[in-house]
């Protein structure tokens, strides 16, 4: 760890501000005994700021750090006594963003159990597959998902919201000690092109990961932060970890609604918001509130920024946008701040402190500046592998992201898309993202996705799916001519399909497998 850099960053963000000695001692002791996992982070926050509001949700629940820790501990004791949950047991969490999910994931960590964060968009069949492959012992779920659990094995214990409250209220008077085995967090990959895979997330072992993020994204102690990104998503879960470390007040809504989100940001005087790009896109489609929220940071991750979105948002809400490029497997790779996004709105930015990023060819050699290659990343939060036992390719300690990209002469990274999204049409390599960014600039277009589909003559061809703003029209040939004006002939989509909306998963990623069904 670079100690001077770490101390300087922690000081700038308020983490080294002096406090009451007895509380500071309790804070440090909590980290020493419980580690830097979610339970340890919550314990240190409760030790230092027990009366600080930790969580607020739209149903009126407001919990201090002391109360949140008490509820999580009580839930952990009941899970152990009622269901026999032991270190290493997998606990599934099928919940939207609310205090119950936070309590359940902390309770799992307190017991040394593995918290399996389940995507709320999974079908009943996918949920059954996840339950079997992960070997779930308990499934904590929201009431709205009760029907999806009907086909699960009878021996799988189910805990809905009402049952969770009963378990918290009826906790036995037992003690909790740090478990002999540290609990893991399993995040399910998005599964946009197939079945989701379980990825084991590592536990931080110091300030390093936090410092890497808050050095580039100016979050501070005791900020008020809305986490709009789903907590089951890597980005939402990372936001929760950061917020606990900063003793922030966390604002949660079960569902994302742009108007309600803007109202909440203003009402709670939020300093920051964690979201995925499609959420910011939706915010731009509703009138801004009379009193704009006092946002200093809007931190995005999870998918590429559509063309022009960064500039439009910053023109409306100020230069507060930060875009983190990463994945479930590599955590973070690079961060673009307002300055970079003003200069190059589609850039993924630069690697933060402590992160290595290389663009390599298929033989593992660095490619020249500006040339497209495979993106490899190294940092202290690389995932520990898939629960199936599968692994990702690595070279010299750097992990393959599965993406293709390039670094320009200014050191800025640009991501051209997934390696398996690139198509070869008539012998030419074509990146759908380049066409998407261009078409997204048309004023009639609300959202666009471009995919490769089989073609008898060229092997593959591009197909563009467009959802237009209400009342707008476009001619398919006009779209093709527009692309032809700016890009090469092989980048022109042969098929232009108009749809009401693009199919997306719960984290906003386009489900390309649904689009392929248009072509059989």
Binned at pLDDT 50, 70 and 90, residue 194 comes out as low
Is the model's pLDDT at 193 over the cut of 50?
no
Residue 347 within a domain: yes
CA dihedral angle for residue 384, residue 385, residue 387, residue 390, rounded to 10 degrees: -160
* Side-chain-facing half-sphere of 21: CA atoms under 13 Å: 0
Binned at pLDDT 50, 70 and 90, residue 382 comes out as confident
Give the whole-angstrom CA distance, residue 482 versus residue 467.
17
Give the whole-angstrom CA distance, residue 96 versus residue 232.
8
The 10s digit of each residue's pLDDT in 36-49 is 999 999 999 999 99
Say which residue the tokens 């290493």 belong to. Answer: 88
**Domain harbouring 176, CATH code:** 3.40.50.980
Cβ pair 30, 43 in contact under 8 A:
yes
Binned at pLDDT 50, 70 and 90, residue 15 comes out as very high
Give the whole-angstrom CA distance, residue 112 versus residue 195.
27
pTM more than 0.75: yes
| Helical residues (DSSP H) of 247-308, grouped into ranges | 258-267, 277-283
Is the model's pLDDT at 191 over the cut of 60?
no
Beta carbons within 8 Å of 130's beta carbon, 6+ residues apart: 92, 116, 118, 122, 136, 188, 196, 198
Is the model's pLDDT at 307 over the cut of 80?
no
The 10s digit of each residue's pLDDT in 336-376 is 999 999 999 989 999 999 999 999 999 999 999 999 999 99
Give the whole-angstrom CA distance, residue 453 versus residue 212.
40
Phi, psi at residue 497, to the nearest 5°?
-115, 130
Binned at pLDDT 50, 70 and 90, residue 16 comes out as very high
Count up the domains in the chain and report the number.
Answer: 3
Residue 505 within a domain: yes
Same domain, 467 and 513: yes
User: Residue 243: left if φ>0, alpha if ψ -120 to 50, beta else—which one?
Assistant: alpha
Residue 506 within a domain: yes
Is the model's pLDDT at 60 over the cut of 70?
yes
Say which residue the tokens 């936001």 belong to. Answer: 239
Same domain, 183 and 329: no
Residue 130 within a domain: yes
List, in sequence order, every residue forming a beta bridge with 400; answer none if it has no partner. Answer: 376
Most confident of the following: 275-279, 328-332, 405-409: 405-409
Same domain, 338 and 234: yes
Is the model's pLDDT at 421 over the cut of 90?
no
User: Residue 370: left if φ>0, alpha if ψ -120 to 50, beta else—which one?
Assistant: left
Is the model's pLDDT at 426 over the cut of 80?
no
Same domain, 237 and 94: no
Closest CA to 333 of 322, 349, 309: 349
CA dihedral angle for residue 64, residue 70, residue 75, residue 77, rounded to 10 degrees: 170
Same domain, 348 and 219: yes
Cβ pair 435, 483 in contact under 8 A:
yes
* DSSP state for residue 226 in the 8-state scheme: E
Q: Which domain holds residue 254?
A: 206-352+377-387
The 10s digit of each residue's pLDDT in 292-306 is 899 999 999 987 777
Beta carbons within 8 Å of 220's beta carbon, 6+ residues apart: 13, 14, 246, 271
Model pLDDT, residue 340:
96
List, in sequence order, every residue forming a beta bridge with 298; answer none if it has no partner. Answer: 273, 321
Helices (H) and strands (E) in the chain, counts: 16, 24
Binned at pLDDT 50, 70 and 90, residue 418 comes out as confident
**DSSP reduced 3-state for 434:** helix
Cβ pair 14, 248 in contact under 8 A:
no
Mean per-residue pLDDT of the chain: 92
Residue 232 within a domain: yes
CA angle, 140 then 124 then 130, to 5°? 65
495 CB neighbour count, 10 Å cutoff: 17
Same domain, 73 and 190: yes
Query: Taking residues 155-171, what's their average pLDDT?
Result: 97
Binned at pLDDT 50, 70 and 90, residue 518 comes out as confident
Same domain, 198 and 211: no
List, in sequence order, every residue forming a beta bridge with 398; answer none if it has no partner. Answer: 395
CA 296 to chain centre: 20
Is the model's pLDDT at 54 over the cut of 90?
yes
Is the model's pLDDT at 196 over the cut of 90?
no
Same domain, 192 and 225: no
Residue 394 within a domain: no
- Of 188, 203, 218, the last residue of a domain is 203
Model pLDDT, residue 320:
97
Instruction: Give me 269's structure tokens.
Output: 């005087």
Same domain, 167 and 234: no
Beta carbons within 8 Å of 291's beta carbon, 6+ residues apart: 266
Give the whole-angstrom CA distance, residue 293 versus residue 266.
4
Residue 418 within a domain: no
Give the whole-angstrom CA distance, residue 370 versus residue 62.
50
Residue 46 within a domain: no
Least confident among 163-167, 230-234, 488-492: 488-492
CA 437 to chain centre: 22
Query: Taking residues 274-278, what's their average pLDDT?
Result: 92
- Of 154, 171, 203, the last residue of a domain is 203
Model pLDDT, residue 201:
84
Same domain, 69 and 186: yes
The 10s digit of each residue's pLDDT in 86-126 is 999 999 999 999 999 999 999 999 999 999 999 998 889 88
Report how far apart the first and last C-alpha atoms of the chain are (Å, whole number): 53
Closest CA to 492 of 446, 439, 422: 439
Cβ pair 92, 139 in contact under 8 A:
yes
Phi, psi at residue 339, to the nearest 5°?
-65, -45
Model pLDDT, residue 423:
83
Query: Taking residues 400-410, what's their average pLDDT?
Result: 94
Same domain, 218 and 330: yes
**Pairing state between β 423-425 and 428-430:** antiparallel
Same domain, 213 and 334: yes
Percent pLDDT > 70 in the chain is 98
The 10s digit of each residue's pLDDT in 137-152 is 999 999 999 999 998 9
Is the model's pLDDT at 132 over the cut of 90?
yes
Give the whole-angstrom CA distance, residue 225 versus residue 296.
10
Give the whole-angstrom CA distance, residue 416 versus residue 323.
16
**Domain harbouring 492, CATH code:** 3.30.300.30
Give the whole-angstrom CA distance, residue 192 versus residue 470.
27
Q: Which helix (H) or strand (E) holds 8?
A: helix 3-12
Secondary structure string (H, E, C) spanning 39-91: HHHHHHHHHHCCCCEEEEECCCCEEEHHHHHHHHHHHHHHHHHHHCCCCCCEE
Residue, of 367 and 490, whose pLDDT is higher:
367
CA angle, 426 then 456 then 488, to 5°? 30
Say which residue the tokens 């092989």 belong to. Answer: 490
- Of 334, 363, 387, the last residue of a domain is 387
Query: Taking residues 393-411, what's their average pLDDT?
Result: 93
**Domain harbouring 221, CATH code:** 3.40.50.12780
């Amino acid at each position: 760890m670079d100690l001077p850099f770490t101390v300087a960053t922690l000081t700038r963000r308020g983490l080294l501000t002096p406090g009451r000695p007895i509380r500071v001692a309790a804070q440090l002791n909590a980290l020493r005994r419980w580690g830097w996992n979610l339970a340890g982070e919550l314990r240190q926050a409760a030790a230092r700021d027990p009366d600080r509001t930790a969580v607020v949700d739209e149903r009126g629940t407001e919990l201090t750090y002391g109360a949140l820790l008490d509820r999580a501990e009580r839930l952990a004791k009941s899970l152990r006594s009622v269901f026999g949950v032991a270190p290493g047991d997998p606990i599934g969490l099928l919940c939207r963003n609310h205090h119950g999910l936070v309590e359940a994931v902390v309770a799992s960590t307190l017991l040394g159990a593995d918290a399996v964060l389940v995507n709320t968009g999974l079908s009943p069949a996918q949920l059954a597959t996840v339950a079997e492959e992960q070997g779930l012992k308990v499934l904590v779920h929201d009431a709205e998902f009760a029907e999806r659990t009907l086909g699960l094995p009878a021996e799988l214990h189910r805990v809905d919201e009402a049952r969770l409250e009963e378990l918290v209220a009826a906790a036995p008077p037992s003690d909790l000690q740090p478990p002999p085995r540290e609990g893991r967090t399993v995040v399910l990959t998005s599964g946009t092109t197939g079945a989701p895979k379980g990825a084991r997330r590592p536990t931080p072992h110091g300030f390093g990961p936090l410092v890497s993020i808050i050095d580039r994204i100016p979050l501070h102690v005791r900020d008020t932060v809305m986490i709009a990104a789903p907590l089951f998503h890597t980005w939402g879960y990372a936001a929760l970890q950061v917020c606990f470390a900063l003793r922030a007040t966390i604002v949660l809504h079960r569902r994302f609604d742009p108007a309600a989100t803007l109202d909440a940001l203003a009402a709670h005087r939020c300093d920051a918001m964690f979201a995925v790009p499609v959420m910011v896109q939706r915010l731009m489609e509703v009138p801004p509130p009379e009193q704009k929220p006092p946002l200093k940071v809007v931190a995005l991750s999870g998918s590429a920024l559509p063309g022009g979105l960064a500039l439009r948002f910053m023109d409306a809400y100020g230069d507060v946008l930060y875009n983190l490029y990463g994945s479930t497997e590599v955590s973070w790779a690079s961060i673009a701040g307002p300055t970079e996004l003003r200069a190059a709105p589609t850039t993924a930015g630069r690697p933060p402190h402590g992160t290595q990023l290389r663009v390599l060819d298929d033989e593992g050699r660095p490619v020249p500046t500006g040339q497209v290659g495979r993106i490899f990343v190294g940092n202290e939060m690389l995932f520990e592998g898939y629960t199936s036992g599968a692994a990702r390719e690595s070279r010299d300690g750097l992990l393959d992201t599965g993406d293709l990209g390039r670094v320009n002469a200014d050191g800025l990274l640009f991501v051209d898309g997934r390696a398996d999204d690139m198509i070869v049409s008539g012998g030419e390599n074509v990146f759908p993202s380049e066409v998407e960014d261009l078409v997204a600039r048309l004023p009639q277009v609300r959202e666009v996705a471009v995919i490769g589909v089989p073609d008898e003559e060229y092997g593959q061809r591009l197909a563009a799916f467009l959802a237009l703003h209400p009342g707008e029209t476009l001619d398919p040939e006009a779209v093709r001519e527009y692309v032809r004006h700016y890009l090469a002939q092989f980048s022109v989509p042969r098929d232009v399909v108009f749809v009401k909306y693009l199919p997306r998963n719960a984290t906003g990623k386009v489900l390309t497998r649904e689009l392929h069904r248009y072509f059989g």
